[in-house]
Chains A and B, each alone.
Chain A
Amino acid sequence: MNSFTLTQATAADEAVRDLTSHDGAAYLGGGTNLVDLMKYNLERPSHLTSLGMLPLADITGLPDGGLRLGALATNADTAWHPEVEKRYPLLSQTILAGATPQLRNAATNGGNLNQRTRCYYFYDLAAPCNKREPGTGCSALTGPNRVCGVLGTSDSCIATQPSDMCVALAALEAVVRVQGPDGERTIKFQDYHRLPGDQPEKDNTLKPGELVTAIDLPAEGYADHFVYLKLRDRSSYAFALVSVAVGLKMNGDTIEKARFALGGVAHKPWRDQAAEQLLEGQKPSPDLFRQVAAKVFAEAKGYGEGSLHNSFKIELGKRAIVRALKQATEMQYEVNPNAFLNSNP
């Protein structure tokens, strides 16, 4: 690890001032990703602005019926907060599907949004990587790329955003509150992370010096019909190959409102609003779900066949969507099970 100075800020505006007054500074939340990256020499900040003393760890109700998650609340405290468990079980389950208890106890909500990719080549200092060092090339395009993306990729980068929590926040249409040198602003969750394009070194749309202060959840938490389906190489403590977070509002046997997002397939939690609309006003059926899945992956691009390469994610992703939608609709409303048994996968 390189040497650095460290300030412990006690307020958000003080943190922003401290960070912007140092060249090459970074915010330190729980440190579970940043300190790890520093040990690999992937991040070499000359100064850390520690956020641990900021009063941003609360989870509080909002006047519109929503819930505000403080950026400094830990992932564990968020997942096990009574209001989150009761009204946003999708978020709770999604957080608990990621990392380990030790990491979730230290990792913060703001930090979860800003964690870097786990692409092999990003971590391999001897390999070209446009995200780590712009202009050096993308080793994943031709090398083993099982963990990489198939949607929204570019010739510069096919890395994925690794968070589970963010997949739920995308489906829940959360809003990110940030504070920077020019004051406060909000960012819709779907606009927070970005596609790689020709600037894969940029993971998100934060401006220099901006700090995440909170994540606001809308009132609708889809607590009656939700599922987080996470498919991975082992059943615990592994990043998603493909994951699907679904929240549905049912009216009898009709899908009134549908929101879903995918993890493990893109540089950001992947939402397809046109595909969501295909579900709304419809009755659940295998054909409908397959149509939705086909829509999501219509423009997907795989980067090689076999278990080392990621083309398998396209079919896996489609099947994951069908299964997740089936599970979410069946949580209370029982679809005729034979409809699924008799259909081709």
Chain B
Amino acid sequence: MSLHFTQEALDKTPPTIVPTQPVTLNVNGEDHTIQIAPWTSLLDALREYMDLTGTKKGCDHGQCGACTVLVDGKRINSCLALATVYQGKQIQTIEGLGSEDNLSPLQQAFVDHDAFQCGYCTPGQICSAQGLINEGRCKTEDEVREHLSGNLCRCGAYTNILSAVMEVLHDGQVVVDNGTLVTIPAQPSASSSVN
């Protein structure tokens, strides 16, 4: 069985010259008209054409969830979405969930629970958790774990991510395994720790 060099196969397809087109995307309540090629992903459109760099590129293959954004309130992987076909949709990114002066409940809970280390996965984790809350399907920790399985954290901050999401999900309370709601005290914020 000989090694098959596919560069040859790739070269068989002549490049097509495709003009860019104006595309209008509604992001965080504002229309942005950008000039892009059909293969521009929603992720690249946000980061490279609108300077909305909160949304992160991790694997770029829909496996890590760092690129998670909300479209009409539902979470998707923006790396696998072609921006052109998302015209007319309401797109929400981490920048649209809250502001520095007015954090969203999930953003505040992530700070309170020290739910991140390097922070790279955090915008995706928060957007995904917002999608989870919007879906209204999860109540228990096990359910939340399963329904956040599309977001990887290389630092392994899962325990505190789960605490943060559970707090917001139950408005300041967490569910323990036997189904009893228990209020937990907030942990010191990340900014107060010294590394």
Contact = CB atoms under 8 A, between A and B. Distances in A.
B85 A8 contact: yes
A101 B16 contact: no
Given A102-B77, A105-B74, A126 B60 contact: no
A102 B62 contact: yes
Given A101-B75, A128-B4, A236-B146, A5 B82 contact: no
5 contacts: A5-B38, A44-B13, A80-B137, A103-B150, A128-B2
Interface stretch (B96-104, B107-115, B128-136, B186-194): B128-136
A3 B75 contact: no
Interface in A19-42: 24, 28, 31-32, 35-36, 38-39, 41
B135 A101 contact: yes
A2 B18 CA distance: 11
Residue from A35, A100, A125 with most neighbouring chain B CB atoms (10 Å): A100
Main secondary structure of the interface of A (DSSP, over half): loop
B85 A39 contact: no
Contact of B76 (A4, A50, A106): A106
B118 interface: no
B75 A5 contact: no
Interface string A333-344: 000000000000
B81 interface: yes
A76 B147 CA distance: 12
A24 B14 CA distance: 12
Contacts of B84: 6, 8, 50
B37 interface: yes
A39 B60 contact: yes
Contacts of A46: 13, 16
User: How many A residues touch the partner, as a band?
Assistant: 35 or more
A35 B62 CA distance: 10
Interface of A: 1-6, 8, 24, 28, 31-32, 35-36, 38-39, 41, 44, 46, 48, 50, 52, 76, 80, 99-103, 105-106, 125-128, 133, 136-137, 139, 236-237
Interface in B128-157: 128, 131-132, 135, 137, 145-147, 149-150
A101 B147 contact: yes
B112 to A, nearest CB: 24
Contacts of A102: 62, 65, 68, 75-77, 128, 131, 150
A137 B10 contact: no
B1 A128 contact: yes
Contact of B39 (A3, A133, A136, A139): A3
B32 interface: no
Given A39-B61, A41-B10, A99-B150, 9 more contacts: A3-B15, A4-B39, A6-B82, A6-B84, A76-B74, A102-B77, A102-B131, A105-B75, A236-B146
A101 B4 contact: no
Contact of A133 (B4, B131, B132): B4
B195 interface: no
Contacts of B61: 36, 39
